[in-house]
Amino acid sequence: MPASLTKIMTLFLTFDALKEKKLKLTDSIRMSWYAATRRPAKLYLKPGRCISVEDAIKATAVKSANDAATALAEHLAGNEKKFAKLMNQKAKEIGLHQTHFRNASGLPNSRQLSTARDIAKLAKAILDCHPEYAHFFSLPYFSFNRRRYKNTNTLLGKVVGVDGMKTGYTFVAGHCIVVTQSVDDARVIGVVMGEETPKRRDVVMTYLLKNQIPTLAQIQQAERQLTQKRRRRQVSLYWAVQTGAFRSRKQAIQFNAQLRKNADLQDVLSDKSLFTRLVAPFKQRKHYTTRVGRFKTEDEAHVLCQSMKEKSLSCLVVKSR
């Protein structure tokens, strides 16, 4: 899984639209209810609020804001599903043979896949096709609504010549980074995926940039190791508090939204993560569950469930992967 490295493709299509005059940097795009729910990295704009295309690009490239990336996708294609089709068409055009996109932000999806080699091809393609917009990846920070967001690429300004490009993280994908570096008259592109910590990610990337160009055999070995790491992560178990089951994802999301707004539960759920989960089809019917938190221990989940029951909300502690 490419995590937020996915946003490079989202920006690629945005830059295409700018070049084709279908979009202007000064255009306003509306934050939909769906886009506003994309977390955790986000600008926290409320549904209905607007943001300029330029600010959305900066938020996506610098802060890795999921809501901004999704808003761009919806503005360009109508909805994220249609935008994913455009992403896959572009991937095919530039020769990303082991890549498939399902969303614009890189949020977890088991069918969203890529490799380090394909990500390197994507980084090269966007620089070749849109050099005039490469500066967005080099910005040390992004200011919006009186707040300053530092670039998630911590190698900017630390390693000589580094001038981009993007970081990413999900639990399954691990810590990932694509770096571009100007060396004499050449441009070097490095990709590291699946590291356990941001520090380890940066150390490995710095070593690659300073000391070696990996051979094909080394790249293939790294990709095999990465696949094994992902498999181990995917079978890891967690505890959660299940609050409901619904026929559609929309119903589940609406229930979570209502739960978040429930005044009686503000103190219980204020710092908890609410999410939905597709359950294996039963009698050929899909259904979705709503859950709170991913806890390491059963006791943590039971404490929360008991608090919710005291507020007259039924719940169930479940173990899942």
Q: What pLDDT sits at residue 2? A: 84
Tokens of 196: 């356990």
HSE toward the beta carbon, residue 308, CA cutoff 13 A? 25
Q: What is the pLDDT of residue 283?
A: 46
Catalytic residue among 4, 63, 105, 166: 4
Tell me which of 7, 42, 58, 121 is the catalytic residue. Answer: 7
What CATH architecture applies to the domain 3-233? 3-Layer(aba) Sandwich (3.40)
Domain ranges of the chain: 3-233, 238-320
Specify the pLDDT at position 248: 82
Angle CA(205)–CA(207)–CA(213) in degrees, nearest 5? 90
Classify domain 238-320 by CATH number.
3.30.70.1070
7 is annotated as an active-site residue: yes
For the chain, 321 residues long, the average pLDDT of each consecutive 10-residue run is 90 95 94 87 88 95 92 93 94 91 87 89 94 93 90 89 89 88 84 87 86 64 65 64 85 84 76 75 66 84 85 83 62
Handedness of CA 164, 168, 174, 175 (dihedral sign): positive
Looking at 42, 58, 63, 64, which residue is catalytic? 64
Same topology, domains 3-233 and 238-320? Answer is no
Could you tell me whether strands 285-295 and 274-282 are parallel, antiparallel, or unpaired per DSSP bridges? antiparallel
Query: What pLDDT was estimated at residue 280?
Result: 54
pTM assigned to the model:
0.67
Residue for token pair 């070696």: 212
How far is it, in rounded angstroms, from Cα 198 to Cα 177?
A: 9
Which of 235, 237, 240, 236 is closest to 289 using CA atoms? 240
What is the SS3 assignment for the chain? CCHHHHHHHHHHHHHHHHHCCCCCCCCEEECCHHHHCCCCCCCCCCCCCEEEHHHHHHHHHHHCCHHHHHHHHHHHHCCHHHHHHHHHHHHHHCCCCCCECCCCCCCCCCCCECCHHHHHHHHHHHHHHCHHHHHHHHCCEEEECCEEEECCCCCCCCCCCEEEEEEEEECCCEEEEEEEEEECCEEEEEEEEEECCHHHHHHHHHHHHHHCCCCHHHHHHHHHHHHHHHHHHHCCCEEEEEEEEECCHHHHHHHHHHHHHCHHHHHHHCCCCEEEEEEEEECCEEEEEEEEEEECCHHHHHHHHHHHHHCCCCCEEEEEC
Q: Scanning the structure block, which residue is given the tokens 């190791």?
A: 225
Q: What confidence score (pLDDT) does residue 321 get?
A: 62
Half-sphere exposure in the Cβ direction for 53 (13 Å, CA): 19
Q: How many residues does the chain have?
A: 321
